[in-house]
Amino acid sequence: MHEMSLVEGVRQLIEEAALRDGFTRVHSVRVEIGQLSGVERSAFEFCFDLAMQDSLAEGARLDIVATPGRGHCRQCGQESALAAVYDPCELCGACPVEVTGGTSMRVIDLEVE
C-alpha cells in the first residue's frame, strides 16, 4: 500500500514546516489528489489517521480536494475529461490522449496554531 508512504511524506512535510514556522498544533490538512494519480482515497484517509498518531497533527481533520483527469487529444486538438490514463478522447474517440491534468497529489495548506 503506497498510500502509507505518501502519508508519511505528508507527516514529514508537516514536521519540517512546524520547525520552520514555529507552530505546535495542526487542526486540518488540505490535500489535492488527482483522479489519475493512482492514490486510493479511502486507503489514504485510513493511513492518515494512523500516521499522524503521536504527532502534532494527531486528530487533525483531513480535507481531500479531488481534481479530475484531463487530456489533450492529438487527433482533434481538444482538451477533455479523462477517467483513466488510457481512455480515448471523449469528443472524437481517438487514441492516444496526452494526459494534461489530474496526475498529482499535493498538500494545499494546513490550519495550525
- Which one-letter amino acid corresponds to residue 86? Y
Query: Could you list the residue range(s) of the whole structural domain that residue 43 is in?
Result: 2-112
The CATH number of whichever domain residue 7 belongs to comes to 3.30.2320.80
Residues 93 and 11 sit within 8 Å (Cβ to Cβ): no
The mean of the pLDDT values for the chain is 96
Vertex 34 angle, CA 23 and 38, to 5°: 105
Q: Grid coordinates representing 100?
A: 494534461
- Per-residue pLDDT for 84 more than 80? yes
Query: What is the SS3 assignment for 55?
Result: coil
Give the containing element (helix H, strand E) for 19: helix 2-21
pTM value is: 0.88
- Binned at pLDDT 50, 70 and 90, residue 1 comes out as low
Residues 37 and 80 sit within 8 Å (Cβ to Cβ): no
Nearest Cα neighbor of 11 from 46, 55, 76 is 55
| pLDDT given for residue 46 in this prediction | 96
Report pLDDT digits (tens) over 48-79: 999 999 999 999 999 999 999 999 999 999 99
How many domains does the chain divide into? 1
Residues 81 and 70 sit within 8 Å (Cβ to Cβ): yes
